[in-house]
Chains A and B, each alone.
Chain A
Amino acid sequence: MKYAIHTLNKAFDHRVRLGVMAVLLANEQVSFNDLKESLDLTDGNLASHVAALEKAGYVLVNKQFIGKKPNTTYQATAEGKAAFQEHLAALEKLLRGG
């Protein structure tokens, strides 16, 4: 059976981006460190993938300072949530052989 891969969203074709969206859908707001911890990633790796998702308009980045410490939190945009749900639906459809 051949998978209809073209129905899948290109923005999610990397494991890290898929993971970031999964965490952001399960949790309203997530800090950089918590995200890194959940996905077991390095700083640079996570930053570049989150930047790609931000560019696609799927993730909202909030940069704040707690005292002198930078505290960046991430949040999925409505568009990002919808796109991710669609991606999941497409995966499920592939599973059913549609």
Chain B
Amino acid sequence: MKPVAQDPLSQLTEIRAIMERSSRFISLSGLSGVGAGVVALLGTVVAHYYLQQQYGAQGYLRLFQTSAAERWAALPFLGGLAVAMIGLALLVAAFFTLRRTRREGLRSIWTAPARRLAAALAVPLVAGGLFCLKLFVSGAPELVVPGLLLFYGLALLNGSKYTLDEIKYLGLTQVLLGLAALLLPGYGLLLFGLGFGLGHIGYGLLMYNRYERPAGAKFAAS
């Protein structure tokens, strides 16, 4: 550890940095968002073709009129796709964030704020996932996409106090898209791709530009 900084400016800057680092997980890489968004877009496309192949040209819309037996038959594929997407997105996100922490010389990624962020996200996400599963099997498949967007958005809002501010706006975006999906059930798949795909990519690029671009100003007034 370096000796005590002499001039007040560097002392203040350092105090601010310590307070920020100890209460927020700021090593989240923007590229994690871009990666997760690409995974989500791919998943949306796969779901679209699967539904068209199962139910004909109407695809997603026809899902609303399916019988319970038909939905149970579709559950392994759609559920498996969801689990695979979540796993892949987490993997990609972890890769880019680990790369960033390593570049910044931080020893551990699993710090106190990171644990708090994970817990703040996990509770609404697990609850929302189970809720949407129940919606799907009990005959309200049109509410699954709005439910996923809303719960995910609220999870992000809940977690945003432990990480970068952009996450709050990403959360709000998902909540708005979730509400739009409630009003426009027919556009569910499109709004899903918009929120989970383009939303992540957009905010990911924004965060990357702000905090990580090699030439850009790093951690400018936050």
B-contact 0/1 string along A21-54, CB 8 Å cutoff = 0110111001100100111110001000000000
Is chain B's interface secondary structure helix, strand, loop, or mixed overall? helix
Whether a CB of chain A sits under 8 angstroms from the CB of B112 is yes
Q: Which residues of B contact A88 (CB under 8 A)?
A: 12, 15
The answer to whether A91 and B8 touch across the interface, beta carbons within 8 angstroms, is: yes
Residue on B nearest A38 in the bound complex, by CB: B22
Instruction: Say whether, besides A22-B18, A22-B19, A23-B19, A38 and B4 are in contact (CB < 8 Å).
Output: no
Q: Which residues of B contact A92 (CB under 8 A)?
A: 8, 12
Whether a CB of chain A sits under 8 angstroms from the CB of B20 is yes
Whether a CB of chain A sits under 8 angstroms from the CB of B53 is no
Q: Which residues of A contact B108 (CB under 8 A)?
A: 37
Whether a CB of chain A sits under 8 angstroms from the CB of B48 is no
Whether a CB of chain A sits under 8 angstroms from the CB of B215 is no
Residue on B nearest A18 in the bound complex, by CB: B15
The answer to whether A26 and B4 touch across the interface, beta carbons within 8 angstroms, is: no
Residue on A nearest B11 in the bound complex, by CB: A91
Whether a CB of chain B sits under 8 angstroms from the CB of A16 is yes
Interface residues of B in 13-27 (CB under 8 A from A): 14-15, 18-23
Whether a CB of chain A sits under 8 angstroms from the CB of B1 is yes
Residue on A nearest B9 in the bound complex, by CB: A95
The answer to whether B18 and A23 touch across the interface, beta carbons within 8 angstroms, is: yes
Most chain A C-beta atoms within 10 Å of own C-beta, residue among B3, B7, B19: B19
Report the minimum CB–CB distance from B180 to chain A (whole Å).
37
The answer to whether A25 and B19 touch across the interface, beta carbons within 8 angstroms, is: yes
The answer to whether A22 and B12 touch across the interface, beta carbons within 8 angstroms, is: no
Which listed residue (A18, A41, A94) contacts B4, Cβ 8 A? A18
Q: Which residues of B contact A13 (CB under 8 A)?
A: 4
Whether a CB of chain A sits under 8 angstroms from the CB of B65 is no
Residue on A nearest B3 in the bound complex, by CB: A15
Report the minimum CB–CB distance from A95 to chain B (whole Å).
5
The answer to whether A38 and B112 touch across the interface, beta carbons within 8 angstroms, is: yes
The answer to whether A15 and B22 touch across the interface, beta carbons within 8 angstroms, is: no
Report the minimum CB–CB distance from A19 to chain B (whole Å).
5
The answer to whether A94 and B8 touch across the interface, beta carbons within 8 angstroms, is: yes
Most chain B C-beta atoms within 10 Å of own C-beta, residue among A34, A38, A88, A95: A38
Q: Which B residues have a C-beta under 8 Å from some C-beta of A?
A: 1-5, 7-9, 11-12, 14-15, 18-23, 107-108, 111-112
